[in-house]
């Protein structure tokens, strides 16, 4: 059981998931930075939303932290590089609010086009200003979508229903993919020249801060209206205020700001009649908050169980496809098996992929091999985040190789280092099998307790081993025999009902013809 510190409100269903997994849920809302530093020691997981600042100081205070969960998409309040250095997994809920964000974008698009908030406020104040707040239609207009990720794609889908023409800017999307969404890819400056409306759906990075500033807005098509529900700061607020005041831009609708709540630097923009604003409501729907709480709870439980977490932002290739996914536990066990038989760290750890699997992104499998290896050789917690760091600190070079064909199996994964090698594959409907041990071909399932015996290839060795185990009242569940290519040595791999006592291992190791005895527990 681990302690999970929750510092902001998430859905009760999420809290229930954490508790059902056997963990202690410690809810402490409204902590000050100083109080957070007092509360985080002893917590294995920290769950936050947007208000709690997870700084390097917090991460240093939380020595037992294994995972930080952000119930939402943005990670502006989490020091991800510091977490990575500490080996702490950072997870978020990237799909929880995409629908809500897309719908809010459309709401602001319509509100800006038809001046809904301004007309509403005037009428509430007793003014009938029908002619003043004349709007424009969306039909037939060109919508420029800056960022064709999850939210941008949903906005594109909905904008098509209004009969809008779509153009888009996204350097990471192929033209064919954009065409499938009904959009034409353009360079950003050309998009600004063609668009009647622009909607922003980019992450906030050093490259995107101030992206839409004076230079681009000077090229705007007359009457342009701009919507930003992504992140504050991507649109230069002072530049946008100037463009609207000078009539180069017709108006804007903003849900996000450079600082939140907006400071004095935003007042000029917010005060313009042509500007519609909401207080960062893109994810503020009951459905989005419920999905975020449930998703982050599931991620935290998986991380605490040592499993691969799909939405870990600081684990390379955490999102794996359906071909690679079944191999993750197999390769982690191969890493553990390698560590058990090698009994020392190699200078180079090589993970080889053969068969159709080799054509997929196998980076997460290489991570799994490292995680399995170091979980045996070190007592500190090992995760998909810190496994590469442990390898670097201990001078282990990690590399992967691929081959398009596997001679014996559909797919084969081999973990090698020095003179030792272990290999495995998946049989049937997902059963992991060991199929290679050093130069010996074998074939048997993993078991909790196993024994590897390497011996001279001569008569009587099987009887020697089995009789020794029988004398110790140890039941053999499975047994596989194999010989080396030169026929000089042989190998026995036995699955057992219980671990082999050290005294039995020592007796076997002393017997004539026995070259090596390796007990394997919990691989």
Catalytic residues: 231, 260, 280
Q: Are 422 and 414 in contact (CB under 8 A)?
A: yes
Beta 449-456 vs 514-521: how paired, if at all? antiparallel
Beta 420-427 vs 412-417: how paired, if at all? antiparallel
Q: How far apart, in whole angstroms, are the C-alpha atoms of residue 1 and residue 21?
A: 8
3-state secondary structure (DSSP) of residue 314:
coil
Q: Is the peptide bond between 167 and the residue preceding it cis, with omega within 30 degrees of 0?
A: no
3-state secondary structure (DSSP) of residue 478:
strand
User: Does the CA dihedral 503-506-511-516 come out positive or negative?
Assistant: positive
Place of tokens 């020095």: 418
Residue 6, CA atoms < 13 Å, CB-side half-sphere: 21
Provide the residue count of the chain.
Answer: 523
Q: Are 463 and 511 in contact (CB under 8 A)?
A: no
List 258's β-bridge partners, or say none. Answer: none
498 phi/psi in degrees, rounded to 5 = -160, 165
Q: How far apart, in whole angstroms, are the C-alpha atoms of residue 208 and residue 279?
A: 21
Q: What is the DSSP string of 1-61?
A: --EEEE-S---HHHHHHHHHTT-EEEE--S--HHHHHHHSTT-SEEEE-SSS-B-HHHHHH
């Amino acid at each position: 059981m681990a302690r999970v510190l929750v510092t902001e409100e998430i859905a009760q269903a999420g809290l229930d998931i954490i508790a059902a997994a056997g963990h202690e849920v410690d809810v402490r809302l409204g902590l000050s930075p100083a109080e957070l530093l007092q509360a985080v020691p002893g917590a294995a997981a920290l769950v936050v939303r947007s208000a709690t600042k997870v700084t390097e100081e917090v991460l240093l205070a939380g020595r037992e932290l294994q995972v930080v969960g952000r119930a939402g998409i943005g990670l502006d309040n989490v020091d991800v590089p510091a977490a990575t250095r500490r080996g702490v997994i950072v997870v978020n809920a990237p799909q929880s609010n995409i629908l809500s964000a897309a719908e809010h974008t459309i709401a602001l698009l319509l509100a800006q086009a038809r001046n809904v908030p301004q007309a509403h406020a005037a009428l509430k104040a007793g003014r009938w200003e029908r002619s003043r707040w004349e709007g424009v239609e969306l039909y037939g207009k060109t919508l420029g979508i800056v960022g064709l990720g999850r939210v941008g794609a949903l906005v594109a889908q909905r904008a098509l229903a209004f009969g809008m023409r779509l153009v888009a800017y996204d350097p990471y999307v192929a033209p064919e993919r954009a065409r499938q969404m009904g959009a034409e890819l353009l360079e950003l400056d050309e998009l600004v020249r063609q668009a009647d409306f622009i909607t922003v759906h980019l992450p906030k990075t050093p490259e995107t801060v101030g992206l839409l500033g004076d230079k681009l807005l000077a090229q705007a098509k007359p009457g342009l209206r701009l919507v930003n529900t992504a992140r504050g700061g991507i649109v230069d607020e002072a530049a946008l205020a100037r463009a609207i005041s000078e009539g180069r831009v017709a108006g804007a609708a903003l849900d996000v700001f450079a600082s939140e709540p907006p400071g004095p630097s935003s007042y000029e923009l917010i005060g313009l009649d042509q500007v519609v604003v909401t207080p960062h409501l893109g994810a503020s729907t009951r459905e989005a908050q419920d999905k975020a709480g449930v998703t982050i709870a599931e991620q935290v439980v998986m991380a605490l169980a040592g499993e691969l977490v799909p939405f870990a932002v600081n684990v390379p290739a955490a999102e794996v496809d359906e071909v690679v996914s079944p191999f993750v536990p197999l390769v982690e066990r191969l890493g553990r098996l390698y560590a058990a038989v090698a009994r020392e760290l190699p200078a180079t750890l090589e993970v080889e992929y053969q068969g159709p699997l080799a054509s997929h992104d196998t980076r997460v499998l290489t991570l799994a091999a490292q995680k399995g290896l170091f979980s045996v050789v070190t007592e500190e917690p090992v995760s998909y985040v810190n496994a590469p760091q442990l390898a670097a600190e201990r001078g282990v070079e990690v590399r992967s190789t691929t081959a398009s064909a596997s001679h014996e199996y559909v797919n084969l994964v081999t973990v090698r280092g020095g003179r030792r090698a272990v290999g495995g594959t998946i049989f049937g409907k997902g059963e992991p099998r060991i199929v290679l041990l050093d130069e010996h071909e074998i074939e048997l399932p993993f078991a909790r307790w196993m024994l590897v015996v390497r011996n001279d290839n001569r008569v009587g060795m099987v009887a020697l081993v089995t009789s020794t185990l029988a004398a110790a009242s140890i039941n053999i569940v499975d047994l596989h025999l194999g010989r080396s290519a030169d026929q000089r040595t042989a190998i026995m791999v036995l699955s057992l009902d219980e671990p082999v006592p050290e005294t039995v291992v020592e007796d076997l190791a002393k017997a004539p013809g026995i070259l090596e005895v390796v007990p394997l527990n919990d691989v």
